[in-house]
Amino acid sequence: MRLNPVDLIVKKRDGGCLTAEEIGFFILGAADDSWPDYQVAAMLMAMFLRGLDTGETAALTLAMAASGDQLDLSGLPGRKVDKHSTGGVADTTTLVLVPLVAACGVPTVKISGRGLGFTGGTIDKLESIPGFRVALGINEALDQVRRDGLVIMAQTDRLTPADRKLYALRDVTGTVESIPLIAASIMSKKIAAGADAIVLDVKCGNGAFMRDLPLARQLARTMVDIGRQVGRKVTAVISDMNQPLGQFIGNTLEVMEAIKVLRGELEGDLLDVCLTLGSEMLLAVDAVRDEGQALQMLRQALESGSALEKFSRLLSSQGGDARIIDQPWRLPQPASRAQWCAPCDGYLTELDTAGLGHLFVALGGGRKTKLDPIDYTAGFILHARLGDYISKGMPLVDIQASDAAKISQVIPALHNLIKLDDKQPTAKPTILDIIRG
């Protein structure tokens, strides 16, 4: 029987369960425009209101993954592992994690995106490095992994085109906040990227899309279940985003912070999350027998300098200036700097992380549309973490950018984003939960 868009929309609207064939028909229609936008939007609203069960979500994920190119990593040695973050502020994990895991002997292919909205993008950070190329062909990328053990590249236009179409419509039809649709969007790209195992960093807090732990757990479990349904090993690490993960917010600034971490000069939440994600990545491909061995191997890669050497090879192989490792002044430098100091004594009790992300965009470091130019030098350096005691007049935030007027505009807003109080807040862990398949 010939499938009909209206019949499928009505079926889902009335609470029916769509078959894999019906979902495939919908995704094909969205990708080749045989379903007009109004019918695609109607189906998305029906899915949003009625929900999708585990089988439907898995079928949607596979259909979106199959809507374009899929990477074949079978020619690379061993089992391959991929990592994805749901997005956060000062989330520099990819720049640390990829060379760290590669230094442990696990080939790592990472396809990353640019920043949009208040969360930063790995590709923007890498493009702040003079000469670095993110647009690689598939064969070139695979050759680099065979030679060096790692690659970080931009997503190609042919990877999950149906997902891009659906997301654009969800964004303007009030259907973004659907956990099955979010999970399918994330997992379709990871499956198309070809890895055998996937480790997810699900952010939770005031600087994340998932503001509370129950919702973060629901999203994490949904993605782990999708992995089980489609034969991929998936682990989800839920990490706190009630404050920026690192101390540096900005494209060149986060490159500098990643180098400091790889040098062994900087510890803290960023390194803790990288070690947890790295451990799960090594466990996922059976490179180690347990978490203790994984942590020992990762620490050894840091202490021996092999992780930093992998980062240097990544830069050189993709045209970047590897001299920035020892000479950070070769990165783009800001024309203007300022400092914001504590207005009173007290404990640092609250950071509006999303607010800081939006200020970063206002400073010129992010973009409101995909075509906006960005200032690679713009950003903040934070001098305190939640729970620290601050004395009046102590430097709290360094601000830098190419435009002094933008710095003057964002400084007053910091008063509303950073709160001090007499009472010390209860310390909270950075890793909130780990959900394994």
Catalytic pick among 12, 80, 83, 84: 84
Active site annotation includes 185: yes
Catalytic pick among 85, 185, 317, 402: 185
Cα dist from 126 to 324, 382, 423, whole Å: 12, 21, 40
- Residue that is written with structure tokens 């970047």 in the block: 320
Rounded to whole angstroms, how far apart are CA atoms 32 and 156? 18
Active site annotation includes 74: no
Query: Which positions ≥6 away from 307 have C-beta within 8 Å?
Result: 96, 99, 100, 102, 103, 262, 301
DSSP element (H, E) containing 342: none
Active site annotation includes 170: yes
Crossing angle, helix 54-65 and helix 213-230, to 10 degrees?
Answer: 70
Active site annotation includes 370: no
> What are the residue ranges of helices labelled H in 67-127?
93-102, 122-127
Catalytic pick among 114, 189, 313, 383: 189
Active site annotation includes 313: no
DSSP-derived secondary structure for 219-263: HHHHHHHHHHHHT-EEEEEEEE-SS-SSSEEEHHHHHHHHHHHHH
Q: Are 317 and 328 in contact (CB under 8 A)?
A: no
> What are the residue ranges of helices labelled H in 363-436?
404-410, 414-417
Catalytic pick among 110, 114, 170, 203: 170
Catalytic pick among 82, 91, 124, 163: 163
Distance of CA 434 to the CA centre of its chain: 17
User: Which DSSP symbol is given to 85?
Assistant: E
Question: Which residues in 95-186 belong to E strands, given as ranges?
Answer: 108-112, 150-154
* Active site amino acids: 84, 163, 170, 185, 189
